[in-house]
Chain A
Amino acid sequence: MFFQLLINGLIAGSIYALIASGFSIIYTTNKFVHFAHGSTATVAAYFLYWIFSNFGLPLYLVFPLTILIAALFGFLVHLLIYLPLKKRKSSSVILLIASLALMAFFDNLMQLLFGADVKILSIFPHGKGIEILGAYITPIQIVILIVVLLLFFGLWAFSKYSKLGKIMRAVSDNPELAKTTGINSIRVQHWSFVIGSAIAGLAGILIALEHNIEPAMGTHLMIQGFTAAVIGGVTSIPGSIVGAYVLGLTENFGIWFLPSGYKSAIAFVLLLIFLIIRPQGIFGINQGNRDQKM
């Protein structure tokens, strides 16, 4: 029982992590809430479904293609919608409203094109899970866990050691100083959308395989994704993945004691607790006000 709850929590956490990490990259670099991030995953999932249903392309082509399309989607959204707004010095509130409009637009577009019913993606055979220590886990779930673990280490190394990772953190921390230090902030922001949206594409694929496809699938997960990013610390990209697991595990162990309907409430309660007690999240750094130089 414990192990089943643990696995349930890890799987839920992994799915949240897929959404949260991409969102976190975009948020830390651009400092506004890109609500349409969930829609990126949804669009990727429908693209996968469309390609898979109509063309007999092999999977090893289809999956990377989907991720590329997602990256392109995010890039274009930034280039065509957010960037012009930023050039006019729009506040982050305006950008947030724009992201809501985009979210509504694309979710509805998917519904218009594909219908509101749930689409099932039958790429891999389904069946009883594999039994480990009295708990059951399916092959797809194992794949999701491994992918997210790799993603975590990848993002951690990227953030801490790679030049682009450090530059992103610099832009996130002090955008004006970044400019005068010769960093092309706009190019960095483009990259954040490309990388973040590519991860959303990956999320779309895996969630489609595990939970099937419907128009609001990505957006539904944004609440948990956003919460995970806050819990993990909005300045820490790998932290968002940790936050996602904290959330997933808390939800699944929590509803052992509560009626399962309270699952979403747990996300909100956790969010509130962190916002009140530790707004910088688990890995966020509160820089303080030493000597007024910072």
Chain B
Amino acid sequence: MSLLEIKNLDAGYEDLNVLKDVNLKLEKGKMSVLMGPNGAGKSTLLKSIFNITTITSGDIFFNNKKITKLPAHKLMDLGIAFVPQGKVNFGILSVRDNLILGIHKTKDKTIIEKKLKEIYKQFPILKEKEKEYAFTLSGGQQQMLAIGRALMSSPKLLLMDEPSLGLAPKLVKEMFESIKNIRDNFDTTILVVEHNLKSMMNVADDGYILVQGEMIAHDSCKNLKNSEVMKKVFVGELE
């Protein structure tokens, strides 16, 4: 059954239209990767789910419920978490405070402590830096913090926008291992926008290809890996 469905979406920023008639269907429990050249509109697609772009037509459904243009803060209640690109954390809050904000609606301290424990188990370095300001963390640590915060709310759907961006290759490998663990341990459906295709293709179940605002392919990663369309779009990138 599809957890997230996007139908005929036209979206962009003010008068700039980026996405044209985009369709996407995300199966529950699967990890999917959204690929495409720079400027294709991948980030725009993720952001549109959160209504922080200008949506001109089309609809978005989550668990068969229409969520198009729903205010961003309501999506967390529905179980959607987002790890954005760029400024991923609240720099002037501590690591611990950043994580707690992930389930700020919960008042029950025991639940909060339990979740923190889980996250610290997944990312031990965060426990170590618990009281530090988030901005003092390195890039890789920041990424982990961002993912950790997203997981605090036990989301049904986790959206990630280029988590490997700016990370050293060794860290990238660790990163994708973490993401795989999340899919296995946390029972979360995951959609990742990624550039680093080699690593992702081995890990993800499904793949989507977005080119110049149009969705041109969707298949299992196994099939896509050696397909013609992949070769055409990502000449040279699979090495």
Interface residues of A (CB under 8 A from B): 89, 163, 166-167, 169-170, 173-174, 176-185, 235, 285, 287-288, 290-294
Contact = CB atoms under 8 A, between A and B. Distances in A.
Contact of A181 (B92, B138, B149, B166): B149
B142 A293 contact: yes
Given A290-B135, A293-B142, A180 B72 contact: yes
12 contacts: A163-B104, A166-B100, A167-B101, A169-B90, A169-B92, A169-B93, A173-B91, A179-B73, A180-B52, A180-B84, A235-B92, A293-B89
A293 B104 contact: no
B142 A174 contact: no
B81 to A, nearest CB: 8
Interface of B: 14, 50, 52, 71-77, 82, 84, 86-93, 97, 100-102, 104-105, 133, 135-136, 138-139, 142-143, 149, 153, 166
B138 A291 contact: yes
Nearest to A284: B92
B92 A167 contact: no
A183 B97 CA distance: 14
Contacts of B88: 177, 293-294
10 closest A-B pairs by beta carbon, nearest first, are: A182-B76, A291-B139, A179-B72, A287-B135, A180-B82, A293-B142, A293-B139, A184-B73, A170-B90, A287-B91
A179 B139 contact: no
A167 B166 contact: no
B142 A294 contact: yes
A166 B104 CA distance: 10
A167 B90 CA distance: 10
Nearest to B77: A182
Nearest to A187: B73
Given A176-B84, A182-B104, A293-B139, 18 more contacts: A163-B104, A166-B93, A166-B100, A169-B90, A173-B92, A174-B91, A176-B87, A177-B87, A180-B82, A181-B101, A181-B149, A285-B92, A285-B135, A287-B135, A290-B139, A292-B166, A293-B86, A294-B135
Contacts of B77: 182
B153 A182 contact: yes
Given A287-B91, A287-B92, A290-B139, A166 B71 contact: no
Nearest to B159: A180
A185 B97 CA distance: 17
Contacts of A169: 90, 92-93
Given A285-B135, A293-B166, A166 B97 contact: yes
A192 to B, nearest CB: 16
A170 B90 CA distance: 6
B156 to A, nearest CB: 14
B87 A294 contact: yes
Nearest to B76: A182
Contacts of A174: 87, 89-91
B86 to A, nearest CB: 8
Contacts of B74: 182
A290 B139 CA distance: 8
Given A166-B93, A182-B77, A291 B142 contact: yes
Of B88, B100, B104, most A-chain CB atoms within 10 Å: B104
Given A176-B84, A293-B88, A293-B143, A183 B138 contact: no
Contacts of B73: 179, 181-185
A177 B110 CA distance: 26
Contacts of B166: 291-293
A279 B52 CA distance: 31
Of B52, B92, B139, most A-chain CB atoms within 10 Å: B92
Of A177, A182, A235, A287, most B-chain CB atoms within 10 Å: A182
A164 to B, nearest CB: 10
Contacts of A170: 90, 93, 101
Contacts of B75: 180, 182
Contacts of A89: 14
Nearest to B50: A180
A290 B102 CA distance: 23
A292 B139 CA distance: 7
A236 to B, nearest CB: 9
B133 A285 contact: yes
Contacts of A184: 71, 73
Of A89, A178, A180, A184, most B-chain CB atoms within 10 Å: A180
A177 B89 contact: yes
A167 B105 CA distance: 11
Contacts of A176: 52, 84, 87
Nearest to A166: B97
Contacts of B149: 181
Contacts of B97: 166
B85 to A, nearest CB: 9
